[in-house]
Amino acid sequence: MKRRNKIKILVIHGPNLNLLGKREPHIYGVATLSNINTALKKLAEKEKIYLKIIQSNYEGKIIEAIHNAAKDKFHGIIINPAAYTHTSIAIRDALSSVNLPTIEVHLSNIYCREEFRRYSLISAVAIGQICGFGPNSYLLGLKAILDLLRKNKE
């Protein structure tokens, strides 16, 4: 399939996710970000889609990546906003401004952790949220968005 006909998905990893593998492994597991990205790329190849993956520790960079996804005609976004989930009206506004189908993912189950993690500012502008499945949350998120985009095309 020619690249211009492919479904294009942007995966965004938020702050501190570059430390996965070393960071609180009892909560986030031992898989590194590179392990997660490899699994995502393998699934993308199988599904014959184009996947772009970015990680940033900066709110503004994440916002610009969301704006660029719309400019570059991406079809959807998978985002783990990490701690910005609970604080960032700006990322939420960026997502609702571009209005691309978005799936929010988290490695941990944010509802059985500290009180401040139980509220997501992002969920209201996402199609859905997947949390608690470790690295598999991302793969489930990618499958969910592809399913949705392909159904919408029928």
* Residue pair 83/116 in contact by the 8 Å Cβ criterion: no
- Decide: is 88 part of the binding site for ligand DQA (CB under 6 A): no
CA-wise closest residue to 141 among 150, 151, 131, 154: 131
* 86 in catalytic set: no
Phi, psi of 87 (to 5 degrees): -130, -20
Q: Which amino acid is at 33?
A: L
Is 111 in the active site? Answer: no
CB of 20 to ligand DQA, least distance (A): 9
Select from 6, 8, 16, 148 the one that contacts ligand DQA (CB under 6 A). 16
Supply the minimum distance, in Å, between the C-beta of residue 28 and ligand DQA.
Answer: 6
115: tokens are: 């009180």
> Does 82 help bind ligand DQA (rule: CB under 6 A)?
yes
In angstroms, rounded to a whole number, what is the distance separating the alpha carbons of residues 89 and 108?
Answer: 22
Per-residue x/- marks for ligand DQA, 17-56, CB under 6 A?
----------------------------------------
Residue 64 CA to residue 79 CA, distance in Å, equals: 14
> Which span (47-55, 75-83, 89-97, 138-146) binds ligand DQA, by CB under 6 A?
75-83
Under the binding rule (CB under 6 A), the answer on residue 6 touching ligand DQA is no
Listed ranges 33-41, 42-50, 92-100, 106-114: which one lies at the site for ligand DQA (CB under 6 A): 106-114
Burial 41-61 (b: 16+ CB within 10 A, else e): eebbeeeebbbebebbeebee
Residues of this chain that interact with ligand DQA (CB under 6 A) are: 16, 80, 82-83, 85, 106-108, 110, 117
